Amino acid sequence: MPDRVRHNDQKIGDAFSLDQEAESVDLLVNNYMFDLIAFEEMDAILEEFKRVLKKGGKLILVNMTEGESFGSGIYSLIYRLSPRSFGGCRGVKLADNLQKHGFEVKVREYYQQLWFPSEVILACK
């Protein structure tokens, strides 16, 4: 069995305070975090993302969203009855919030795997 590869340059981050200089990042990717973040904390994180992105920088977000297709209501119903059943993940729609923070939403795609609705967003600063 091969040894595990360790990288000394890996860091544990904090979305509220990224260890990057202002306007130093070309591409920021965030997967399935906002569906776990309290609604009142989302603005601070989006502002931090905006701070580190260069002008024209790209932000790619993937998160659980509100259902838009047949069957997705099952997910919402189960979540309302027992949030713990899905680890506390609940559907959020981020496109409007991104625009409120000055991002230009280029693409928003909706995907549904079984009952689990997700959105993929490409936005630019």
CATH number at residue 111: 3.40.50.150
Structure tokens at 95: 């496109």
In sequence order, what are the residues at sequence separation of 6 or more whose Cβ sits closer than 8 angstroms to the Cβ of residue 70? Answer: none
> Considering only CA atoms, which of 119, 67, 102 is closest in space to residue 75?
67
Rounded CA-CA distance 26/54 in Å is 6
Indicate whether 39 belongs to any domain: yes
Residue 14 within a domain: no
pLDDT tens digit at each of 125 positions of the chain = 444 455 566 667 789 999 999 999 999 999 999 999 999 999 999 999 999 999 999 999 999 888 777 776 776 777 777 777 767 778 899 999 999 999 999 999 999 887 788 999 999 99
pTM: 0.81
The domain in which residue 56 lies consists of 25-124
Q: How many domains does the chain have?
A: 1
